[in-house]
Chains A and B, each alone.
Chain A
Amino acid sequence: MRKSGNRMHPTESEIQEYLDCELEPSRMTEIETHLHGCPSCAAKWRALHAVVISIDTLPSQPLQRDLTPAVLAAIRPRKRSSFGVTLWAAAQAVAVVALLVFTWSQLRMSLDPLLRSLLPLTASFPNKALFAGLLKAWDEIIMIFEGLLLRGFTVTRVWEGVSPHLAKHGWWLALILVFWVVVNGLLMKPVRLQRNRNE
């Protein structure tokens, strides 16, 4: 705002912002009122408005070649992304089950004594029945898992027979599995986020 005589004139920048509706509503009203009573500022507004209208009514230039064939030649048919995600999830599930089967004996040998050794410690717990319940659930899991997998498949025993070294290092496999799942989860997160948001 600059002063001229007794009147405060908006700057040309402000007149432009008024024209582009980029000012606060109260300032928009002030400038509108000013323009009605100030021929000098109104002339500036008209000059700017004329340029804006000229640009806004600019017609399109014709395109001299059809871009469609070139674009279609450059792109490959899009696979359904959900198929890729499903395949990825299925591969993860297969990997989890496979590694669990191969490392089951180590997992059980290590976890089972650990859990049972904790049982005496729970005697002083106010809710010791809960831990006993959890341990019972663990036994159920062992029964179901071994019943379904180990009795159904002899693959674990075959595998252990073929590769005792690998079975010996089952914990390493389990660690690699956890790392793999976590890294894959981290990799998939941005993809999911990107899909959900609008660019």
Chain B
Amino acid sequence: MSAILDRDLVLQTRRGEVQAYGQLVSRYQTMVFNTCYRLMSERRDAEDLAQEAFIRAYQRLETFDEDRPFGPWIRRIAANLCINQMHRSDPPTFDIDEERDRHTQSMPLNPEATIIGAENKERIWAAILDLPFHYRVVIELRHFLELSYAEISKVLGVPLSEVKSHLFRARRLLAERLSHEEIRQ
């Protein structure tokens, strides 16, 4: 439990105490950076966007309900920034044939390899960062921001069926990569 509640820091910031916001940044910067890193795949970009997320959050602090947790709110702002950034710089393109081919494949039935592989977290990080952006983003929104399928669909502006298929393919790709790594070792 933090010595000073997030709620109090938010209220102090609203009263003009900038140092209180500094404490919020210190408290959540690693979490926000990790959200950006998983989405952007580049440390430098992730740091810049995490910083931008805190600035945006400060500008919108009046809209934040201080009775809700600050962490999910700032992570959501960071995720939206990353999604917008990626869409601006690299509009999503989907190789339909590749997707169709892959859709017929099943999840590799090698859970032990995946679980053993989970001991080496760096490999899982690498596997996630290696995913295409449209797969990374559903992984982030589902696993780390804990959004429902319907919420993800709304955030990304894509049909629910697309959310389900992207999530399944993302997980399958991760399973494949982790299984292959395990076999190679």
In the docked arrangement, what's the CA distance between A194 and B63, Å?
6
B149 and A44 within 8 A (CB): no
B107 and A58 within 8 A (CB): no
CB within 8 Å for A50 and B111 given contacts A71-B54, A80-B14, A81-B14: yes
**Nearest CB of chain A from residue B129's CB, rounded to whole Å:** 10
In the docked arrangement, what's the CA distance between A194 and B174, Å?
40
B33 and A61 within 8 A (CB): yes
In the docked arrangement, what's the CA distance between A13 and B107, Å?
11
Residues of B within 8 A of A74 (CB): 51, 55
Residue in B14, B112, B174 whose beta carbon sits within 8 Å of that of A78 in the complex: B14
Chain A proximity mask over B23-37: 1 for CB below 8 Å, otherwise 0: 001100111011001
A47 and B143 within 8 A (CB): no
In the docked arrangement, what's the CA distance between A68 and B114, Å?
37
Q: Which of B50-71 contact A (CB under 8 A)?
A: 50-51, 54-55, 58-65, 68
Chain A proximity mask over B83-110: 1 for CB below 8 Å, otherwise 0: 0000000000000000000000011111
**Nearest CB of chain A from residue B95's CB, rounded to whole Å:** 20
Interface of A is mostly: helix
Residues in chain A within 8 A of chain B (CB atoms): 12-13, 16-17, 20, 22, 43-44, 46-68, 70-72, 74-75, 77-81, 194-195, 197-199
Q: Can you report 20 residue pairs joining A to B where beta carbons are below 8 Å apart?
A: A16-B164, A47-B107, A47-B175, A49-B111, A57-B121, A59-B121, A63-B33, A64-B43, A64-B47, A65-B47, A66-B29, A67-B29, A67-B51, A68-B22, A71-B55, A75-B21, A75-B59, A78-B16, A81-B14, A198-B65
* Apart from A44-B106, A51-B172, A63-B47: 20 A-B pairs, beta carbons within 8 A: A16-B167, A17-B149, A17-B164, A22-B148, A22-B149, A46-B109, A50-B111, A50-B118, A51-B107, A51-B114, A54-B118, A64-B43, A66-B29, A67-B33, A78-B15, A78-B16, A78-B58, A81-B62, A194-B63, A199-B76
